[in-house]
């Protein structure tokens, strides 16, 4: 899988984005469930490790692929500021900008 590919999860229409290891560690340290099948398997397996254990599992020195649709909540969809991620063009974005663009496209 590479940046910009479709999410491999059946029924998801999201595209894979890049998240830095440092940002993913911050996200993993929150009490949220991660769903993107492209993330390190140790972050996804049950029973879900504690937030601190999840954060320790993240390679902070490399980027990871994440689906912003599968992990919208973890990326801050219900918060004022979303976690920074990078789209296939290299542009920094947030879950809010992704949802705004999807809504605008649906409105035509």
Quote the number of domains for the chain: 1
8-48 confidence digits (pLDDT tens): 999 999 999 999 999 998 888 888 888 898 988 878 866 66
- The answer to whether residue 9 sits within a structural domain is no
Helices (H), the chain: 21-28, 41-44, 51-57, 95-107
Which of 23-37, 57-71, 86-100 has the highest average model confidence (pLDDT)? 86-100
**Of 12, 104, 21, 29, which is closest to residue 67 (Cα–Cα)?**
12
Full domain range(s) for residue 75: 17-107
- The answer to whether residue 84 sits within a structural domain is yes
Minimum mean pLDDT range among 38-42, 45-49, 62-66, 84-88: 45-49
- The answer to whether residue 44 sits within a structural domain is yes
**Of 77, 79, 82, which is closest to residue 19 (Cα–Cα)?**
82
Residue 91 CA to residue 42 CA, distance in Å, equals 28
- pTM exceeds 0.75: yes
- The answer to whether residue 101 sits within a structural domain is yes
- The answer to whether residue 81 sits within a structural domain is yes
- The answer to whether residue 96 sits within a structural domain is yes
């Amino acid at each position: 899988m590479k940046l910009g590919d479709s999410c491999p999860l059946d029924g998801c229409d999201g595209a894979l984005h890049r998240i830095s290891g440092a940002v993913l560690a911050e996200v993993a340290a929150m009490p949220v469930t991660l769903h993107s099948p492209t993330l390190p398997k140790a972050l996804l397996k049950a029973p879900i490790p504690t937030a601190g254990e999840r954060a320790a599992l993240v390679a902070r020195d490399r980027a990871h692929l994440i689906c912003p649709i599968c992990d919208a909540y973890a990326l801050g969809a219900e918060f004022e500021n979303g976690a920074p991620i990078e789209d296939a063009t290299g542009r920094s974005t947030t879950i809010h900008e992704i949802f705004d663009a999807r809504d605008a496209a649906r409105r035509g």
